[in-house]
Structure 1
Amino acid sequence: MMELSEVIRVRHAVRRYTDKPIPQDIAVELQNTIDQYNREGNLSMQLKLNDPAAFEGFLTDYGIYKGARNLVAIVSDRTSDWEERCGYYGAHVLLRATQLGLDTGWVRQFGRHLRRHVALEQGERPRFAIVMGYGVSHGHQHKSKRYDQVARVPDGMATPTWFRAGVEAALLAPTSLNQQKFTFALRSEGRTVETKEGFGPCTRTDLGIAKCHFEIGAGPDAGFVWA
């Protein structure tokens, strides 16, 4: 099984799927992952499998999802940080699905007909969805910004290897309309990383996804902290 550092490099968005079902053992692994990150992120992500009508006629800014029948609905409460939490913990689920051999796509428009797939507690709303399954192809790489367009290091400071690796991993994160409107800045003491989202649709959620990627790219021994 691939390490997550490799997963973020090979995963691409997929919108055309075959009718091959997700095996039970993989479904169990997915559910265990969802349960873990629901607890950690105070979310209500929900796995829904084998519904051929789930995305029928569903048009997004990216086009139509064809053959898609499996999804994870990302559901949250309305607390102020819900956008970043959905991105950060949803990204963990998406990468785990890829690690398990599935193709994936992040759906940022939760259409009305998708709402019938979710159970909502008081104060909860469906925010996004992750489509998954076995793609007709594995997608392709999209154009990315350069490291120096999103990274900031104090003048005169040598860039730590872990910081550059983290930023480069963040640049592989899926973002709305591929806008990549985030920045990562290292403070002068060389340990604290500041982040900032830009302006545009879903930028706070995109930042959460990018932070997940950054942590994976930087590695468990980087020893940095978020500002």
Structure 2
Amino acid sequence: MDFNDGIEARHSVRSYTAVPLSEEERAALSQEIARSNEAGNLHMRLVVDEPEAFSSLLAHYGKFRNVSNYLVLAGTPAPSLEQRCGYFGERIVLAAQELGLSSCWVGGTFKRRLVKRMASADDRLVLVVALGHGEGKGHAHRSKSADAVTSIPEGTEVPAWFGAGVDAALKAPTAMNQQSFEIGWAGRTTQDGTPFASIRSKGGPFSAVDLGIVRLHFEIGARAAGGSFRWEDSWKSFLPEYGL
């Protein structure tokens, strides 16, 4: 399975078995976390065999069951922190999918004070991702159409890879399935002829985190279809560093 396949296969899972992560799974996740922390200037951390964070009534109300492993997403406070947590956190989520693990992004239904102690005192805790051996594979949610999340001038012909990127972006997990983003294409290029794509958030809960996740999905989908592009804003694609 590659990351494009992972996008197709991965769905949110809230119920897990009691099977612990193997040493091999822990090692593989830790390696990916270390790489992403370095590339994204983050302080993400894998916590294993710790069931207290999801033992509250709020977690029970959120239908979380047997969560004892989770990824803590945190870093030095900065305007781009949430978006970087989304981008690189989803990179870990897709790596977990490759290992046959399930996952779920979690914004609030965990004991925040307890999890905050897992991070440095100077860091800001953004959210967590539940990880483990899922009781099921989850299921797909309803999605908006490509037209609803793109901005393309009338009569403009877009390349096939742009459509593939948008399709992958529509499969990105977003808070409350809000899909509050817009990806743009205007045909502009850099001086060397590399086309630009744009992306913006339309707001909503955890919208900056969502934007990072959507960026990664678009990049993976577009590049799998042979696309080469640059973002119009200052965001750098980190896919080449990962060999994708």
* Distance in 1, Cα, partners of 2:64 & 2:117: 16
Query: AA paired with 2:78?
Result: T
| 1:121–1:112 Cα change, 3 Å | closer
| 1:170–1:78 Cα change, 3 Å | same
Indicate if the aligned counterparts of 2:12 and 2:103 stay in contact, CA closer than 8 A: yes
Runs of 4+ residues over 4 Å off in structure 1: none
Indicate if the aligned counterparts of 1:55 and 1:114 stay in contact, CA closer than 8 A: no
Q: Equivalences for 1:66-81 in 2 at 5 Å? A: 66-81=65-80
Which residue pairs with 1:91 in the alignment? Answer: 90
Which residue pairs with 2:204 in the alignment? Answer: 200
Give SS of 1:43's match.
coil
TM-score under structure 1 length normalisation: 0.93
Deviation at 1:60, TM superposition (A): 5.5
Give SS of 2:54's match.
coil
Give SS of 1:59's match.
helix
* Distance in 2, Cα, partners of 1:58 & 1:138: 24
Residue 187 of structure 1 pairs with residue 191 of structure 2:
no
* Distance in 2, Cα, partners of 1:60 & 1:86: 22
Identity %: 37
Residue 213 of structure 1 pairs with residue 212 of structure 2:
no
Indicate if the aligned counterparts of 2:7 and 2:217 stay in contact, CA closer than 8 A: yes
* Distance in 1, Cα, partners of 2:62 & 2:135: 15
Indicate if the aligned counterparts of 1:59 and 1:65 stay in contact, CA closer than 8 A: no
TM-score under structure 2 length normalisation: 0.87
Give SS of 1:132's match.
strand
Deviation at 1:203, TM superposition (A): 0.8
Give SS of 1:71's match.
strand
Indicate if the aligned counterparts of 1:14 and 1:139 stay in contact, CA closer than 8 A: yes
Residue 222 of structure 1 pairs with residue 232 of structure 2:
no
* Distance in 1, Cα, partners of 2:201 & 2:29: 29
Q: Equivalences for 1:101-112 in 2 at 5 Å? A: 101-109=100-108, 111-112=111-112
Give SS of 1:169's match.
helix
Indicate if the aligned counterparts of 1:154 and 1:188 stay in contact, CA closer than 8 A: no
Residue-pair matches, total: 225
* Distance in 2, Cα, partners of 1:142 & 1:62: 20
- Structure 2 regions of 5+ residues with no counterpart? 190-194, 233-244
* Distance in 2, Cα, partners of 1:69 & 1:192: 42
Deviation at 1:116, TM superposition (A): 5.5
* Distance in 1, Cα, partners of 2:137 & 2:52: 22
Give SS of 1:104's match.
strand
* Distance in 1, Cα, partners of 2:199 & 2:112: 33
* Distance in 1, Cα, partners of 2:57 & 2:208: 24
* Distance in 1, Cα, partners of 2:171 & 2:66: 25
| 1:61–1:49 Cα change, 3 Å | closer
* Distance in 1, Cα, partners of 2:220 & 2:65: 31
Indicate if the aligned counterparts of 1:58 and 1:64 stay in contact, CA closer than 8 A: no
Which residue pairs with 2:236 in the alignment? Answer: none
* Distance in 2, Cα, partners of 1:187 & 1:222: 15
